Chain A
Amino acid sequence: IAGITQAPTSQILAAGRRMTLRCTQDMRHNAMYWYRQDLGLGLRLIHYSNTAGTTGKGEVPDGYSVSRANTDDFPLTLASAVPSQTSVYFCASSVSSGGTDTQYFGPGTRLTVL
């Protein structure tokens, strides 16, 4: 089934550990995004990629890094997790970053940092 997959579904992580959240899409979308969703704050953009090989910083990039080696994959890495990074993380993709292209969201990863 075409769409976006994320892994893991949920994770409990000790503070200071390194963690990579995986995101894969099979729709050949050029643009991909990572958001975090916290109660009362809505979705906030962490990093984005308009096309393979390029990435950019969103609203809350500190403590996170991304890479876009190919069209399909867009992993998000927490180099040294902190409790404030406890959140639900959504990956999204769109055909392009402009026009009427809507973003399609993956199922999310619930991350708890203790």
Chain B
Amino acid sequence: GQNIDQPTEMTATEGAIVQINCTYQTSGFNGLFWYQQHAGEAPTFLSYNVLDGLEEKGRFSSFLSRSKGYSYLLLKELQMKDSASYLCAVRDRDYKLSFGAGTTVTVRA
């Protein structure tokens, strides 16, 4: 199984940068996903990492270190619409996803 930890809440100012950390312990690693979930809505896919390094997608970047069991999601040039919960999910050797409890990011003007 997986043990996935991420901070519960983070607050940042519009235009700033926020980094959401995720640590995991797994018996078999097969990829790490980040999802965004606005209140009352379904999760939507943001990024996928399976090899070490940084993946950049516009204002969002995701980093993975498999040896450290560590990932982060970087949100740049924060906008009010980025206020949401961000879910870290690890896929195991059986291709099943385990999710962290999520990090609620609040963007203030």
Instruction: Verify if A42 is at the interface (C-beta below 8 Å from B).
Output: yes
Instruction: Verify if B97 is at the interface (C-beta below 8 Å from A).
Output: yes
A106 contacts B42, CB within 8 Å?
yes
Query: Which listed segment binds A: B10-18, B43-51, B73-81?
Result: B43-51
What would be 12 A-B contacts, judged by CB atoms less than 8 Å apart?
A40-B101, A42-B4, A43-B87, A44-B99, A50-B95, A59-B1, A98-B30, A100-B48, A103-B33, A103-B45, A103-B97, A105-B42
A45 contacts B42, CB within 8 Å?
no
How many interface residues does B have (CB within 8 Å)?
22
Known: A35-B99, A90-B43. 13 other contacts (CB 8 A): A42-B100, A43-B97, A45-B97, A50-B95, A97-B96, A98-B30, A98-B95, A100-B31, A102-B48, A103-B33, A104-B45, A107-B41, A108-B42
Chain B interface mostly = loop
For the complex, give the distance between the alpha carbons of A90 and B97 in Å: 14
How many interface residues does A have (CB within 8 Å)?
23
B residues whose Cβ falls under 8 Å from a Cβ of A: 1, 4, 30-31, 33, 41-45, 48, 50, 87, 89, 95-102
For the complex, give the distance between the alpha carbons of A106 and B37 in Å: 12
A residues whose Cβ falls under 8 Å from a Cβ of B: 33, 35, 40-45, 48, 50, 58-59, 90, 97-98, 100, 102-108
B101 contacts A41, CB within 8 Å?
yes
| Shortest beta-carbon distance from A57 to chain B in Å | 10
Chain A CB count within 10 A is highest, among B42, B96, B98, for: B42
Contact status of A102 and B33, CB under 8 A, knowing A44-B99, A59-B98: yes
Chain A residue nearest to B101 in the complex (CB): A42
B87 contacts A42, CB within 8 Å?
yes
| Shortest beta-carbon distance from B86 to chain A in Å | 11
Chain A residue nearest to B88 in the complex (CB): A42
**Which residues of B are found within 8 Å of A97, using beta-carbon distances?**
95-96
For the complex, give the distance between the alpha carbons of A42 and B104 in Å: 12
A45 contacts B45, CB within 8 Å?
no
**Which residues of A are found within 8 Å of B87, using beta-carbon distances?**
42-43
